[in-house]
Amino acid sequence: MFRVLVVDDDRDLRELMALRLEQLGVEVAQAANGQEALEALCEASVKEQSFGVMLLDVAMPRIDGWRVLEALKANPLWEDTPVIMVTGIATSTAEIARMSKYDVLYADKGSDCVQFVSSIVSRLMEEQGSG
User: Which pLDDT band, with edges at 50, 70 and 90, does 105 fall under?
Assistant: confident
User: Which pLDDT band, with edges at 50, 70 and 90, does 90 fall under?
Assistant: low
Q: What is the mean pLDDT of residues 57-75?
A: 93
Note the pLDDT of residue 62. Answer: 87
Q: What is the mean pLDDT of residues 46-67?
A: 93
Distances in Å between the Cα of 86 and the Cα atoms of 3, 45, 51, 56 are 18, 24, 17, 6
Cα separation, 61 vs 10, in Å, equals 11
Domain range summary for the chain, segments of one domain joined by +: 3-127
Domain 3-127 sits in CATH at 3.40.50.2300
Sheet holding 3-7, edge to edge: 27-31, 3-7, 53-57, 83-87, 105-108
Q: What is the mean pLDDT of residues 19-23?
A: 97
| Helix or strand holding residue 110 (H, E) | none
Report the predicted TM-score, pTM, of the whole model to 2 decimal places. Answer: 0.92
Note the pLDDT of residue 94. Answer: 81
